[in-house]
Structure 1
Amino acid sequence: MRVLALLLTTGLLVTACGEAPKPAANARVTLKLDLPDDGGSVREDRVMVQGTVSPADAAVRIGGEDAEVDGGEFSKEVALEPGGNVIDVTATSPGRRPATDAVRVERDMRVDVPDVVGQELDQAKTAIGKVGLRTVEDDRGSWLDRVIPGTDHVCSTSPDAGTPVEKGTTVTLVIQREC
């Protein structure tokens, strides 16, 4: 009788009248994702996945690879493919049911139009080319600017500086000797 009472109070066996003993349901590992925001968008080729897990010694796998767990906090940097990415996270601990979650992250492949206003034309074209964009010139100078030697400067761009665009987009450089 004492053994049965001990087993019932510890939760090791659950029985009903006339049924065979069954093991009690194991507690589930608790998993909480903090970073990145689900459904978020980044331009980098990697993202840091962070969160907490309980028990603190649970093992965590992110994207199929082991993550570092310290005091119940975990983190791992994950490589991203262009476009949509789904990163699976699994936490396990002996004697507990595993926990799983996933985070969706969009890798935005656009680039920002560089700020080249005020630069000499050649410098501006080089800076824009370095980020994978093309240029076309809109010369607003007078006929004297074409006859008298001098250096053209960028007075404005279209699209404006800081605008996110797809690589290969053509940026119009409005140029004159003096803006």
Structure 2
Amino acid sequence: MRALVLLLAAGLLVAGCGDEPRATANPPRVTLKLTTPDDGGTTFEDRVEVRGTVSPADSAVLIAGESAEVDAGEFHAEVPLDPGANIIDVSASSTGRRPATDAVRVTRDMRVRIPELVGLEFDQAADALGKLGLKAVEEQGGSWLDRVIPGISRVCAVDPVEGTLVDRRSTVTLLTQRDC
């Protein structure tokens, strides 16, 4: 029995010696470099353009699962963003090369910036806020004469202040009076 095992093992060694050599070296990898957007960046837009370079220049590039336009080794595609964190996968492949992959993280910030409202009439300011998904509340300032004597009241102050980022559906208080 021991002789049979040795003969079988020797046969395997002999069979292995005459086989054709196998290619053990890995083919080169496609080179993929993302240039925009910045990884970990934030935008208020609903779309972002992904750009980069690839080598060889005729490589096929997929961005978020969709084919990207590649021209002379440069690629780009617009990608829709969901609210909050987004991970955009990018892959490139070319015949005879190993594929390359990368990803970029982009956050779509759904907050809105309170616009400049000081000097507007209340109705104008309320309309501007309404278009942003915000609710306006009027707080009348001035003296009791301002409420009795006819005249145009204007926004004198805004709370939260102009330029502040707030969530949609937030309430903004507008202080109105005739003379600011």
Highest Rg: 1 or 2? 2
* Residues 122 and 138, structure 2, Cα contact 8 Å, conserved in 1: no
Q: Does 1:173 align with 2:174?
A: yes
Gaps of 5+ in 1: 1-16
| Alpha-carbon separation, structure 2, partners of 1:102 and 1:22 | 34
Tell me the alpha carbon deviations over residues 108-145 of structure 1, each in whole angstroms, 9 at most, x when there is no partner: 00011011100111111111111010111221121011
Q: Which residue of 1 aligns with 2:150?
A: 149
SS at match of 1:135: strand
Q: Which residue of 2 aligns with 1:10?
A: none
Q: Which residue of 2 aligns with 1:112?
A: 113
Question: How many residues get paired?
Answer: 163
Runs of 4+ in 1 over 4 A off after TM superposition: 17-20
| Alpha-carbon separation, structure 1, partners of 2:97 and 2:30 | 6
Q: Which residue of 2 aligns with 1:21?
A: 21
| Deviation at residue 104 of structure 1 after TM alignment | 0.7
Tell me the alpha carbon deviations over residues 67-124 of structure 1, each in whole angstroms, 9 at most, x when there is no partner: 0001100000000011111100000000000000011110100011011100111111
Gaps of 5+ in 2: 1-15
Q: Which residue of 1 aligns with 2:4?
A: none
| Alpha-carbon separation, structure 2, partners of 1:45 and 1:164 | 17
SS at match of 2:129: helix
Tell me the alpha carbon deviations over residues 10-47 of structure 1, each in whole angstroms, 9 at most, x when there is no partner: xxxxxxx9475122310000000011111111110000
Q: Which residue of 2 aligns with 1:47?
A: 48
Q: Which residue of 2 aligns with 1:78?
A: 79
- Please give the root-mean-square deviation of Cα atoms over the aligned residues, in Å: 1.3
**Which stretch has the larger CA shift, 93-102 or 118-127?**
118-127
Tell me the alpha carbon deviations over residues 53-78 of structure 1, each in whole angstroms, 9 at most, x when there is no partner: 00011000000000000110000000
| Deviation at residue 170 of structure 1 after TM alignment | 0.7
